[in-house]
Amino acid sequence: MRQPRMKVAIFILLSLSSPHLLAESAIGVNWGTISSHRLKPSTVVDLLKQNRIQKVKLFEADPYVLRGLAGSGIEVMVGIPNELLPGLSSSPAAADLWVRQNISGYVGKGGVDFRYIAVGNEPFLTSYAGQFQNYVLPALLNLQQSLAKVNLAGYIKLVVPCNADAYEATVPSQGAFRPELTEIMTQLVSFLNSNGSPFVVNIYPFLSLYGSSDFPQEYAFFGGTTHAVTDGSNVYYNAFDGNFDTLVSALTKLGYGRMPIIIGEVGWPTDGAISANLSAARAFNQGLVDHVLRGTGTPLRPSTPPMDVYLFSLLDEGAKSTLPGNFERHWGIFSFDGQAKYALNLGTGSGLLKNARNVQYLPSRWCVADPSKDLSTVENHMKLACNVADCTTLNYGGSCNEIGDKGNISYAFNSFYQLQMQNSRSCDFDGLGMITFLDPSMGECRFLVGVSNTSSAPVGSCPQLVTVYIAVMWVAWIVAV
């Protein structure tokens, strides 16, 4: 996910989105893995099955995750990072190798149920300044041939997740792809149509609200608004429908007005910004699910809701970049350890969200600032801890923003300590830290305890390497100051 380019002329322009084209919609989830506390794939797959989530979207072909999904019956959309597009576009052999290593090697009885391959992720973003767009079509053609060679081209469909900034309008009926993308989008939708693939788009009303003080907050949700958008005889009461039909109009102008559309990403974060909180996230996601599954569609596609909707996201990812905002690490409907953040019914028949089972936590102990010590020299220690661990909840708008200076220090210390798998030396901080067995959580501010049943994948799963990295960083920091 990337933050879309924001317009300021009119709020329908601020949150462009996407439609759908099947009578029955399914709710899936994005499973991202940029986390320092990764659960075992088997634990996450069990969580998906408990909640009867039958569709999952991955951002890359992580072998640990794919092995966990094998035999689960869960339908998979697997992603190819943008950085791989140049190689895949220039070399059929590279496409063959990617398919062989990441797709055909996992299919068959008891294997992974691949349905889509997402070629790139929002490659047409304006912020990329055209860096990837010329690689998309050649990569698609090479990959399509590679799938055909292993007799999978008729079953696994290639798609290209687009950000809503690929199209623009002042009202939905005027929707059109950006002028510089008209030619490539015409070629793309022609390819998708000829191969029976849907159009995949990511839509984020939250980012529109976050990015503009003029955006009407209630228009981002599904409870009605006094700021409805009137477009001829059509009236739009929420950003999702308005953006949905903006894309319909853009596709119609290219001659593909009935193309099926999948919402690749949509959601609401729970922390890290003023408008990011539990109640808002629940209101948005429950409103979205109910709205989509009701099947009423939109003014331009009545009774035709989106084909599939993938919520962003399944789990919090505490190691994601915060460049777009501190909320980036808090999109999960579940916390990093698979615990439901709020009551949500996905309409899958499983009722409210069920927590992950058999999560193995580290012992119930925390690292906090020693109240008997002079903390006036703590700044460098705190900066380093937060440079490595996740302290985004301490910032303005975060759930831990009002716990005081000592609370902030303790939160930073503990985040670092848990990341180090509770290594006692990681709570030293030149004698300013101490280990406690009393939970220091305050109100909505939760001091986490790490998990011990982590994935064996590279990210966040090798405490020894992390410890070496921290030691190097610490020495460098001390030398610098």
- Catalytic residue numbers read 122, 265
Burial of 273 (0-12, 13-18, 19+ CB in 10 A): buried
DSSP 3-state percent helix, strand, coil across the chain (nearest 5)? 40, 15, 45
Q: Report the b/e string of 434-469 with b at 16+ CB within 10 A.
A: bbbeeebbbeebbbbbbbeebbebebbbebeebbee
Name the strand (E) or helix (H) holding 177: strand 176-177
CA distances from 436 to 14, 223, 369, 399 (A): 47, 45, 10, 22
What tokens does 433 get?
């830290």
Report CA-CA distances (Å) from 267 to 122, 229, 316: 16, 22, 12
Provide CB contacts within 8 A for 370, sequence distance 6+. Answer: 431, 432, 433, 434
CA-based angle 450:451:453, to the nearest 5?
A: 160
Handedness of CA 272, 447, 468, 318 (dihedral sign): negative
